[in-house]
Chains A and B, each alone.
Chain A
Amino acid sequence: MGKNAVIVDGVSKRFRLTLDRPLSLKEAWTGLRPGSGQPFRRVRSEPFWALRDVSLEVPQGSLYGLVGRNGSGKSTLLRVMAGIYRPTQGRVEVQGRTSALLELGAGFHPALSGRENIYLNASVLGVPKSQIDDRVDQIVEFAGLEEFIDSPVKIYSSGMYVRLGFAVAVHVDPEVLIVDEVVAVGDEEFQLRCFSHLEALRAQGVTIVLVSHDLGMLRANCDQMAWLNRGLVAAVGEPQDVINAYLDTVDTEGAALVGHRPRPEDEGETPLRITDLEFYDEAGHRPKTFASGDPLIVRIHYRASEPIEDPVFSLGFYDHNNFHLAGPRSHVGGFRPGKLDGEGWVEFRLPRIPFRSGAFHVNAAVQDSEASFLYDRRAREFWLQVSGEPDPQANGLLNLDGDWRARC
């Protein structure tokens, strides 16, 4: 597993959104829009960076998951990996034959029959005809399209489209398989077959890059994961860590996908609840505003309706752009709160507030001692106001505690 099948090195992708451009030579020549007779505005709209300095390494033979909200750049990243988009900056290296399954269906030509499209796709991927001849029946059977395979694919339903696309993509002996969240389209039975097939491919050493919103599936199957947020890699590493980081910022529906109810309406639903979050200074007061560099104590109030052994508390600090600044977790330093029962609090003590002026929201969550089950979570409710810059001219989010030296 030492080698990487896919290396994404500092990739940025810019799209120019030129909404107002001439669509014909006539318009380009006259510089006038049709109908209105108004000239085109010469301003180009702001370039849109779909990916910003993304670096990833996908080890050979691994199943690599990508999460992120809609519009976070996942599909663009897959397209860059598949060679469809050219990175504006940076470099992508893919080892081996790459088969990509993006959006609905692979590259199908609507006017061609399913069978012709199988051959067309195979030839695009460089698979010799003789090899596909042997596989066609297998592909048709896998897709369950025996009756329709000689009809043009434009009459196919979206489900048939996806089934055929998946069947082709996995039967052309890819060494790297790139799959956008297409598998979710088929019915339950087909999804199951897809996953078992992906498993089988991975067992053969195929590298798989997978985008999905199904966090439970990703956690159960992925070797590694990355989370893309607004075109940036927000987290990369072990699936559990990445998912946790992701969930910290995602609204309740994201959490619901893994089966957690982060904020149960009914008191009885969770045995351990976070009831409040308070910010104290060292003197035990609760000022409205904290000075940057001052000590901070975050007190998490809980109520346990049954005895709970050593739960893990975590906090998430975010700036007003929802950028995740820090996420301390209580068990990391070996802290054990002991057996919780009834009401009480847990404190997180910060000797110096590193943040510069601004409003920050602090999330709190509590999980079981394995940090695998979420008891309760409160997000975007508690705001920390920081002011009192040592240097109001400085840039950046944080103040760093360094000092300067010189030798003259």
Chain B
Amino acid sequence: MTEMTSRGGVLEIWGYRELIGRLVQRELGARYKRSVLGWLWSMLNPAATLAIYALVFGVLLKFDPPRAGNGRFDNFALYLFCALVMWNAFYGVITGAMSALLDLGSLLGKVYFPPEAPAVAALFTVLFQAAIEGSILMLILISLANVSWTFLLWPVLLLFFSIFALGIGLVLSVWNVRYRDVGYLSTIALQFLFYVTPIVYPLSLIPERAMGLPARDIIRLNPLSQFTEASRELLYGLDWPGLLRLGLMALISLAVGAGGWLMFKVRTRDIAEEL
């Protein structure tokens, strides 16, 4: 075995794909297999969230969505959904990584496996769910004749975004083992992030300046905004975000993902003693 794939190496996870497959299968099995309506149940939560936000922000507050890419309609719920799918994936990967390490960590004291395996399994579980949500969204858009080759880029965007989320989730999961209030604080931080990211509102709703600060630029600089906006452009606006922006997003994702991964590897070398 080479240094990279050997025990504790960065790429040893590859040797444990069987384990990751098993963990994903277990998670998905619990979610989908147990009931006939499993698939519908798993969509109930995102559908309900979508409905509530669409009602509050689209109907009651009357946020104005831009016109769809084909120029024939505008729909706040669909505009919202394009960003919400991304947020759901982000949220799912982070909370999944955090709970996975706590949940399976006790096994680390009895048998060796790379401690990032549960988080990686959580990532794939979330990707699976996001793929379903994304497919439903695309089917609706196609039925409205709002479709373009930009749809093909969306899975790539989702993948990069979840790598970004995994990097953050891995770091938080180590802290979560060490300090018991990290989960609690993360929930607050995620709630804050949700509202400083253009998901339930279009970026254009944010004033250029607020309280003497360049508010819109601040929101735009939030890396999450880039991903949610890009998702809207690809699916709703049928727009090509440009090579520079896509490249930048890929770069940020890979940097955050790799940074989180390395930090996780260093911090979990003795994790069996802590759990």
Contact = CB atoms under 8 A, between A and B. Distances in A.
A22 B175 CA distance: 12
Given A25-B185, A124-B113, A126-B16, A109 B104 contact: yes
B179 A23 contact: yes
Contacts of B22: 119-120, 123, 129
Contact of B273 (A15, A102, A120): A15
B112 A84 contact: yes
B263 interface: no
A372 interface: no
Contacts of B16: 123-124, 126
A86 B269 contact: yes
B26 A112 contact: yes
Contact of B179 (A15, A24, A102, A123): A24
Interface residues of B, number: 30
B15 interface: yes
B179 A84 contact: no
A292 interface: no
Interface string A69-102: 0000000000100111110000000000010101
Contacts of B185: 25
A126 B8 contact: no
Given A123-B18, A126-B18, A82 B179 contact: no
Contacts of B72: none
A121 interface: yes
A146 to B, nearest CB: 22
A108 B181 CA distance: 27
A82 B107 CA distance: 13
Given A25-B182, A126-B15, A121 B111 contact: yes
B206 interface: no
B179 A107 contact: no
Interface residues of A, number: 34
A108 to B, nearest CB: 8
B19 interface: yes
A106 interface: yes
A82 B111 contact: yes
A124 B19 contact: yes
A250 interface: no
A333 B34 CA distance: 75
B252 interface: no
A86 B111 CA distance: 13
A128 B18 CA distance: 7
A28 interface: yes
Nearest to B20: A123
Nearest to B180: A24
Contact of B272 (A85, A121, A127): A85
Contacts of A129: 18, 22
A389 interface: no
Contacts of B8: 86
Nearest to B107: A107
A14 to B, nearest CB: 10
B107 A123 contact: no
B180 A23 contact: yes
A116 interface: yes
Interface in B92-126: 103-104, 106-113
Contacts of B15: 126
A15 B274 CA distance: 10
Contacts of A24: 179-181
Main secondary structure of the interface of A (DSSP, over half): loop
A150 to B, nearest CB: 13
B182 A84 contact: no
Contact of A103 (B7, B108, B110, B175): B110
B107 A83 contact: no
Contact of A124 (B7, B109, B111): B111
A84 B103 CA distance: 17
A3 interface: no
Contacts of A123: 16, 18-19, 21-22
Interface string A119-144: 11101111111000000000000000
A106 B180 CA distance: 26
A84 B18 contact: no
B3 interface: no
A26 interface: yes
Contacts of B272: 79, 84-85
Contacts of A26: 181
B269 A25 contact: no
Nearest to A129: B18
Nearest to B8: A86
Contacts of A120: 19, 22-23, 26
Interface string B229-271: 0000000000000000000000000000000000000000110
Interface string B11-55: 000011011011100100000000000000000000000000000
Nearest to A22: B179
Contacts of A106: 110-111
A15 B180 CA distance: 22
A102 B106 CA distance: 13
A108 B107 CA distance: 7
B152 to A, nearest CB: 33
8 contacts: A15-B273, A24-B179, A82-B111, A84-B111, A84-B272, A126-B15, A126-B19, A129-B18
Interface of A: 15, 22-26, 28, 79, 82-86, 98, 100, 102-103, 105-109, 112, 116, 119-121, 123-129
Given A79-B109, A126-B16, 4 more contacts: A28-B179, A100-B112, A107-B111, A123-B21
Chain A to chain B: the 9 pairs with minimum beta-carbon distance, closest first: A107-B111, A107-B107, A83-B112, A24-B181, A107-B110, A123-B19, A123-B22, A123-B18, A25-B179
